[in-house]
Structure 1
Amino acid sequence: MTDEKLSLPEKAVMITLMAEAREVSNPELKQRYGLTLDGKSRTHLNDLRFVSSRRQGRAFAHLLEDRGWAWCVGHLGAELPPRSGSAAGALYAVLANLPRHLDRAGLSLADVFHRDEDAPAPAPAPVAAVPAPRTAPAPAADDTEARIRAAYADLADAPGAWVSLTLIRADLADLPRADVDRTLRHMYRLPDVHIVPESNQKSLSTVDRAAAVIIGDQEKHLLAIGNR
């Protein structure tokens, strides 16, 4: 994913979609930022699987995909393109210094730019009621982390064995990808969870690459849970 693959307007759209962290239509891009993604540039970014686009009425709407996030991560600290202007220079200064904060806080770009509506809703305040009998505990919540752990247990040969995220995602196909990614990033910080890149990158299929989760500045493809 080298800079030469993208024109300056394509880079600008990528960074804007990263900052918005949501689907944005061409009319909104034009109105708010003076940008559009049409024609060959749209086809280019779609073919690279950096951006997905769909028709929204008479216009296209665009969403930054995982590979696009990975490009943005790799672009942090890149040299300012020639004839970029002072505004672009200020933007590149911000991007170049973001890694300092990310490293200190243990965050990814997706953590920084995620929108509030993507976060899990807070649990409702408890309502006063007659206490349930101690012999009748409430059932465990079927949350995303529990689903991931259950899928791993079904697929792994033993605790701590590596399982491809391609297989994990296939088992969780009914869950929104954003929820699974967010939970994997949370689990990455847990002591019994290990999420790593595939060391033999040539062995990865297109499906394997698409199933990767971006954590920090890497695409990670394998999950292990338990002692290793």
Structure 2
Amino acid sequence: MTPKQTLIVWCLLGRKGQALQAEIRPEVDKKDREALVADGLVSSSKIGRALGLKLEDKGWNWAGEHLGDELPKNYHVLQQWLAMLKQHFESSGVTLAEFIGPAPEWPPAKQPKQPRKKKSPASSRPKRKKVGGHDRLDTPSPEQLRARIKQAYLAITNGRRGVPVPLGQLREQLSDLDRTTVDGALLRIHQTETKAGFGRNDDPKSISPDEAEAAFSSGGDPYHFIWFQS
């Protein structure tokens, strides 16, 4: 074989004996592929719209016997490594196939389509409008704000409900909204939501300055936590 054809075989071995032609470097020319196929070293097959190459038993046997064959001039380092592998195999009795291990399924199984991530409802996303040449968020509606707050809550709890979340963490998730807007939305939730609740830290000495700053008040003592039951 030519040095380039030898290199193609090593590239295939680096992928456990099989790969799409487009994945192999250097690029596989038609004449080199056809020569390898004609010699029975490699087989080719269509995989979808791509062409797949697979090293056959004759190719594995050839590779095991030709670890010291000449490669293109720019691949001297690889040639040195292959020479050391040859010495290792000869002294240990390990074969090239044992060293590389079993190949994965061929042709490769089709990957199942990943379900598309659900987009947030349009009603929960503030719209943008141009003001003075710059994008600016419109003031969200009460429904949008409620959806944003619940979305932020579930993001913090990894989808769990009934878990108290510090208001400081919630505000971090809503950092694009000003405090007045968020407080107004929290007040509406406090007054109208039957499946949402607020809690207080009853130990004043354990309240940090950040926790105190993030607290929300509906007119009485401040609340430090929020949770949704559904």
TM-score category (smaller protein): 0.3 to 0.5
| Structure with larger Rg | 2
Query: TM-score scaled by structure 2?
Result: 0.41
- The one of the two structures with greater contact order (alpha-carbon pairs below 8 A, sep at least 6) is 1
Query: TM-score scaled by structure 1?
Result: 0.41
